[in-house]
Amino acid sequence: MTVFNPVKVFNLLTFNLLTFNLLTFNLLTFNLLTFNLLTFNLLTFNLQP
């Protein structure tokens, strides 16, 4: 018989939420960095005579 332990469930949920938030944050920062690099490359390429 598995006893329902709310503390374990709560800990798992919070851990999953934290890891999910970290992953999404990393993806967002990665997208921002790549976007900045692309725009910088476009600007420098356009500024060249």
Q: What is the pLDDT of residues 1-49, one digit of tens each?
A: 677 888 999 999 999 999 999 999 999 999 999 999 999 998 888 876 6
Which residue shows structure tokens 């999953």?
Answer: 16
Question: Which pLDDT score, from 0 to 100, does residue 36 have?
Answer: 95
Return the structure tokens found at 24. Answer: 């999404």
Distance separating alpha carbons of residues 15 and 32, to the nearest angstrom: 26
Start-end of H helices in 1-49 = 6-47
Write the burial class of residue 49 (CB in 10 Å: 0-12 exposed, 13-18 middle, 19+ buried).
exposed
Question: Which pLDDT score, from 0 to 100, does residue 47 have?
Answer: 78
Return the structure tokens found at 32. Answer: 């921002």
pTM of the model: 0.57
